Amino acid sequence: MLNVLEHRGPDDYGLERGNNWMLGFRRLAILDLSPAGHQPMCTPDGRHWLVFNGEIYNYLELRRALEHDGVTFRSESDTEVLLQLLLRCGPSALSRLNGMFAFAFVDLTKRTFLLARDRLGVKPLYWYNQGGKLRFASELKGLLAWPDATRTINRKAVLEFLSLGYIPASSCILEGYGKLEAGTYAVGSLDRPTLNPTRYWSIDIAPGSNSGPLTTDQLSEFHELLADAAKIRLRSDVPVGIFLSGGIDSGLVASFAAESSAPPLALTVGFAEESFDETSIAQETAAHLGLKLKVLQQRAASIDDVDSLSWTFDEPFGDASALPTMLLCSAASEHATVFLSGDGGDEAFGGYRRYLEAARHGWISRVPSAAKAAGYALSQAMPLQSALRYRLAKATLPRDQMAAVFDGQGLTRDPALRSILPRDLLAQAGDVLDPVRVAWENGSALDPL
């Protein structure tokens, strides 16, 4: 199992086992590169053990608070800070963490375990909990390394992928396996291990909070939050870089990172096709910010790269940028260990064209039903491969606003495309948008964008 995960942590290897428990770890050293940061890590008395993937960005502030309370540390790692914090606070420590993480904390005296995942689910945690066994790993392939691992495809998850372009956090491509969801933790017994997650964090959305543009105070607060987020992520004992394109998002992150006493190396990808190449813009941005820039030429992908992509992600993932991103990260690893990027800006601020479907839904909903019915009938008379047929059918199908946004991403809601899928598969699927409906309804008071 640990050999399968070697690519995640090539710097160190650790395995500890006892009565009805075993913890293993592959380490990619970021903070405190010495053997003192070895994992699994335990308290001096050997009672409490921790394996922890990720980084606690505010570990220095937490460490100072713990030292003020009399705690003595043996290392300079964030792992030991987390261990000592969990020892004193248990699950309530999660509210004090600023970072990305997935960890397991074990108390051998009480015979209990605590599994937890960061608020946004940056770090993964897969699990298998059947036959009185609980296994967990950072990747699904780690669980499949066990000789008795089952490999039965979850048919509903296949439909979810075809509808959304990914497997939701509440599902897994294989039956019997799951993912600890973002912002949750689970406490259980080592002797009778079952997984009953508890949510410790969720986004609170206040009705009316989106009315009008941001105020000057709100913009100032956002500026401070983003600046602090970039600064605190530069804490590292290994080289840090930043992926810089010609876009606004990465340029903004780079501008904050450039203010550091040790500015990161900027990397950009050059393309032979001029329409894709943003090298000149990235060079201008880097020069303006005083960052050293390294240009990597994008090589052509091969069929072997596609195989590597499926192996890397474990589950189906329908993002066209995944392959070039994987190639970029592979090439970038020669220049730095940790990289910042501008990913996520479009998701947070409605930057993708598909989000306009919500607005279009509002316009189309005012069209009389008879006119929409006639429009749909007309679409069905058009050639199957016609782009106009697809657009007209989408515009006139009865659907709610959420479906309008997600229809553009998948296959399972268009009648013509549904016809190629097995009927028994469609019959057992139910509403494949259920996994995202809860999140949508939580923000129902907000503007769709």
- pLDDT band per the 50, 70, 90 thresholds, residue 129: very high
CB-CB contact of 263 with 241 (8 Å):
no
Give the integer Cα–Cα distance in Å for 62 and 87: 13
User: What single-letter amino acid sits at 314?
Assistant: D
Three-class SS of residue 112?
Answer: strand
Tell me, yes or no, whether 338 and 359 share the same domain. no
Tell me, yes or no, whether 96 and 179 share the same domain. yes
Structural domains counted in the chain: 3
User: What single-letter amino acid sits at 354?
Assistant: R
The more confidently predicted of residues 99 and 367 is: 99
The more confidently predicted of residues 116 and 394 is: 116
Tell me, yes or no, whether 182 and 310 share the same domain. no
**Does residue 397 sit within a domain?**
yes
Determine the average pLDDT of the residues in 211-226.
86
Confidence check: pLDDT of 172 > 90: yes
Give the residue among 261, 227, 234 at the shortest CA–CA distance from 31. Answer: 234
pLDDT score for 366: 56
Determine the average pLDDT of the residues in 133-158.
95
- The pTM assigned to this predicted structure is 0.84
**Does residue 204 sit within a domain?**
no
Is 240 marked within a binding site? Answer: no
Tell me, yes or no, whether 51 and 171 share the same domain. yes
Tell me, yes or no, whether 385 and 339 share the same domain. no
- pLDDT band per the 50, 70, 90 thresholds, residue 144: very high
Q: How many CB atoms lie within 10 A of CB 82?
A: 24
- pLDDT band per the 50, 70, 90 thresholds, residue 391: low
Determine the average pLDDT of the residues in 418-426.
72
**Does residue 358 sit within a domain?**
yes
Q: Omega before 422 cis (within 30°)?
A: no
Tell me, yes or no, whether 329 and 361 share the same domain. no
- pLDDT band per the 50, 70, 90 thresholds, residue 379: low
Tell me, yes or no, whether 31 and 99 share the same domain. yes
Tell me, yes or no, whether 48 and 184 share the same domain. yes
Determine the average pLDDT of the residues in 252-279.
88
**Does residue 85 sit within a domain?**
yes
Is 343 marked within a binding site? Answer: no
In sign, the C-alpha dihedral spanning 79, 80, 81, 84 is positive
pLDDT score for 332: 92
**Does residue 1 sit within a domain?**
no
Containing structural domain, residue 359? 353-442
pLDDT score for 39: 97
Confidence check: pLDDT of 363 > 70: no
CA distances from 177 to 29, 130, 135, 381, 436 (A): 29, 9, 10, 44, 20
pLDDT score for 243: 94
Q: Which of 26-40, 46-60, 307-321, 353-367 has the lowest mean pLDDT?
A: 353-367
**Could you say which of 147, 164, 199 is where a domain stops?**
199
Tell me, yes or no, whether 43 and 189 share the same domain. yes
Identify the CATH number of the domain in which residue 278 sits. 3.40.50.620
**Could you say which of 314, 348, 382 is where a domain stops?**
348
Q: What is the pLDDT of residues 63-94, one digit of tens each?
A: 999 999 999 999 999 999 999 999 999 999 99
Determine the average pLDDT of the residues in 180-190.
97
Tell me, yes or no, whether 221 and 139 share the same domain. no
CB-CB contact of 69 with 122 (8 Å):
no
H-helix segments, 32-99: 59-68, 78-89
User: What single-letter amino acid sits at 67?
Assistant: E
Is 118 marked within a binding site? Answer: no
Three-class SS of residue 379?
Answer: helix
- pLDDT band per the 50, 70, 90 thresholds, residue 435: low
Is 4 marked within a binding site? Answer: no
**Could you say which of 331, 348, 365 is where a domain stops?**
348
Tell me, yes or no, whether 58 and 162 share the same domain. yes
Determine the average pLDDT of the residues in 179-196.
96
**Does residue 326 sit within a domain?**
yes
**Does residue 146 sit within a domain?**
yes
What's the chain's average pLDDT? 85
